[in-house]
Amino acid sequence: MKLAVLVNEGPYQHQAADSALQFVKAAVAKGHEIFRVFFYHDGVNNGTRFAIPPQDDRNITVEWSKLAEEHKLDLVVCIAAAQRRGILDENEAKRQGKSGDNIAPGFRISGLGQLIEAGIQAERLVVFGD
Amino acid sequence: MKLAVLVNEGPYQHQAADSALQFVKAAVAKGHEIFRVFFYHDGVNNGTRFAIPPQDDRNITVEWSKLAEEHKLDLVVCIAAAQRRGILDENEAKRQGKSGDNIAPGFRISGLGQLIEAGIQAERLVVFGD
Amino acid sequence: MAMLHTVNKSPFEKRSLDSALSHAIDGAAILMIEDGIYGALKGTAVSAKIEKALGNLKVYVLGPDLKARGMTEDQVVDGVKVVDYAGFVDLVTEYDKVQAWL
Amino acid sequence: MAMLHTVNKSPFEKRSLDSALSHAIDGAAILMIEDGIYGALKGTAVSAKIEKALGNLKVYVLGPDLKARGMTEDQVVDGVKVVDYAGFVDLVTEYDKVQAWL
Amino acid sequence: MAEPWEEEEGPVKKFMYVNRKAPYGTIYALESLEVVLIAAAFDQDVSLVFMDDGVYQLKKGQDTKGIGMKNFSPTYRALEGYDIEKLYVEKESMESRGLTADDMIIPVEMLSKDELTSLMEEQDVVMSF
Amino acid sequence: MAEPWEEEEGPVKKFMYVNRKAPYGTIYALESLEVVLIAAAFDQDVSLVFMDDGVYQLKKGQDTKGIGMKNFSPTYRALEGYDIEKLYVEKESMESRGLTADDMIIPVEMLSKDELTSLMEEQDVVMSF
């Protein structure tokens, strides 16, 4: 089945990002198609490559990036929410005159329309948040 | 009176950062000394200079930076919490091999001991969170 | 099939379990995840809510979240089914849609 | 002076107002800020809690948070005092310490 | 009946946006509204529900100057211009909060908990904020 | 009586760390523990309280392999080595959750709500997570 996932909280502070990650892994293992994972609200903070969690803890962003590479997942960070919270890719950084960017590999920044499209195209939308 | 403030949530997602900012402004206006503002948990996200909120909205980080400059405030971002969440200064970025940093002017990264010290030195500690 | 309702907060802290239960039709399902699992346990001040809900709803709890918090399957209210993440995925596909009571 | 307790969540969503009220000694103060202000209003399902608390506690609500949410001072339970941020600062200095019921 | 050019755009799904949080204390109310404004461009069947503390989003007379935040409540009045016309508030949520239709910034249809529950079951996609 | 060399280090304040959140669902339990471990180095009078859902932090038998997170509950057993010995759980919080002292990973003193309230009033600084 074609599934979409919405993640509304950043990593570590709430379990939402972990739960979404485990859910996506299980869905992929069962042969379902993940149409898109959309990161909204503080969820955009999943997409920073600047995070360095303690070595004995999981690195949620790295896990998303690996999962995206292995399974060609579409990880979309909401542009409006990302601007508010300081998540930038190279284009955005240039456009906004910021020195450098922090987006992690496998994530792309795009508009809220991508969330609505996920709702239309996927057969189920599963939301993880606070 | 000597006051210390602890901010436990990032800007925008929760009102905590706004409330802390308004409280600090009011305390300064009344002639109180702000010994330190300590940013912990997602509160470290107050310290990113990458954020670009909509033009008709407040820019919380810029307000902290301005306030720090005007009143010589000590804005301390917890290093452990900042590492988990991807807030870096130049030193940390170099030490961790990250390409670039994102700390905003007026903020400094330091250890949790700075929070305990604030608890000892200040006459009141006021906590803002979720 | 009706709706799958997910609840992720402790019923001792937030009221989202109440909201979910009072908006679930006969035959709908409740899945308790994260701190929501505390609502699925026997012998607490809120156990009666789930015992009553089992009359017209299916109730599930996420095993990995239960174990993480030091709770075992035999501490769960009788009639509540324990599922793993694969079971969570199955529930999402079996029910028509999912509502997260965040 | 006793403790100042701050509550920042709606009593319809979270149980933190209950925790604060049940851990405040006679003469302590409760200050409702942010979404906590909904607990200070007349004519709601939770108004009785504050009316009762006024028997042994001082109760304050932050005016700017009240106004932001479209509520006026005359909608506040009688006996609850409205303060601005400067008043919040005064309360912090008047009471011995502050506990935030997050 | 759908017009032929509407058919071309793919299936029309029933989307319900459920607002359960008070405004300003958290950002969910504002960012939910941003989703709804974008959703309006997709020609889907959109409903907005305000229940639990979400009914507070529509309270008249919001004035945020004192907290330094933007008052976004006027945007609810603009929803009609985006052809978003199915707005519902839950009666039980209003009553326990002592609110009436007169307190609302826009006209909304009041549904009982049971009516709302049925409507929710009719949807294809439910997004809750 | 304080020894003279202790006097030199400035005042000893009573710090109470109040834990009111369940573990893993949010990070507050873990990051609160990190504060307490640092606090131990400051020679202040430290108390730890577990109340409301915070009592769940001390539940025996935590096994986080299935959720991919680190099980930090063994750290509570290390607190004694840091000379943090005043640990309290609230009786009422335990009872409404069906928990007893046997469920706890470490020995703790059980206080009633009223006893805890009094203890809280005796503190100089209360930090709540």
Evaluate if residue F6 carries a pLDDT over 50.
no
Q: Is F124 on the interface with D (CB under 8 A)?
A: yes
The interface predicted TM-score of the complex, written ipTM, equals 0.96
Tell which residue, C42, C99, C35, C97, has the closest CA to residue C62.
Answer: C35
* Cβ-based contacts of E124 with chain C (< 8 Å): 97
pTM: 0.96
Give phi and psi for E57, each to the nearest 5. -60, -30
Which residue of chain D has the CA closest to C12? D15
* CATH assignment at residue B124: 3.40.1260.10
- What is the spatial distance between Cα D99 and Cα D83, in angstroms, rounded to a whole number? 18
Low-confidence stretches of chain E (pLDDT < 70) are: 1-10
- The per-residue pLDDT of chain D, averaged, comes to 97
pLDDT at E6: 46
pLDDT at E129: 87
Domain that holds residue B9: 2-128
pLDDT at B44: 98
The count of domains in chain A is: 1
Distance (Å) from the C-alpha of residue A71 to the closest C-alpha of chain E? 25
Residues F37-80: tens digit of each pLDDT: 999 999 999 999 999 999 999 999 999 999 999 999 999 999 99
- What is the spatial distance between Cα B81 and Cα B90, in angstroms, rounded to a whole number? 17
For chain D, how far is it from start to end, CA to CA, in angstroms? 22
Distance (Å) from the C-alpha of residue A19 to the closest C-alpha of chain F? 7
Q: With contact defined as beta carbons under 8 Å apart, do A49 and A79 qualify?
A: no
pLDDT at E10: 66
Closest Cβ opposite residue F70 in set A13, A15, A56: A56
| Contact exists between A and D (3 or more beta carbon pairs < 8 Å) | no
Q: With contact defined as beta carbons under 8 Å apart, do F113 and D23 qualify?
A: yes
Q: Which CATH number describes the domain made up of E11-60+77-128?
A: 3.40.1260.10
- The per-residue pLDDT of chain C, averaged, comes to 97
pLDDT at F129: 87
**C3-101: which CATH topology?**
Hypothetical Protein Ychn; Chain: A, (3.40.1260)
Best mutation target, B8, B13, B87, B89, to test chain A (most A CBs within 10 A): B13
Closest Cβ opposite residue E97 in set D12, D35, D70: D12
Chains touching C, CB cut-off 8 Å, 3+ pairs: A, D, E, F
Q: Are strands F125-128 and D97-100 parallel, antiparallel or unpaired?
A: unpaired
Q: Please tell me which residue in B5, B20, B76, B78 is annotated as part of the active site.
A: B78
Residues B118-129: tens digit of each pLDDT: 999 999 999 999
pLDDT band at D4 (very low <50, low <70, confident <90, very high): very high
User: Is residue B15 flagged as an active site residue?
Assistant: no
Distance (Å) from the C-alpha of residue D64 to the closest C-alpha of chain F? 25
pLDDT band at F2 (very low <50, low <70, confident <90, very high): very low
Spell out the domain ranges in chain C: 3-101
Q: Give Cβ neighbours of residue A67 (< 8 Å, ≥ 6 apart).
A: A21, A24, A25, A28, A73, A106
Structure tokens at A46: 């999943």
Evaluate if residue F5 carries a pLDDT over 90.
no
Spell out the domain ranges in chain E: 11-60+77-128
Residues A12-68: tens digit of each pLDDT: 999 999 999 999 999 999 999 999 999 999 999 999 999 999 999 999 999 999 999
Residues C19-59: tens digit of each pLDDT: 999 999 999 999 999 999 999 999 999 999 999 999 999 99
* Cβ-based contacts of E121 with chain C (< 8 Å): 2-3, 25, 28
Q: Is A15 on the interface with F (CB under 8 A)?
A: yes
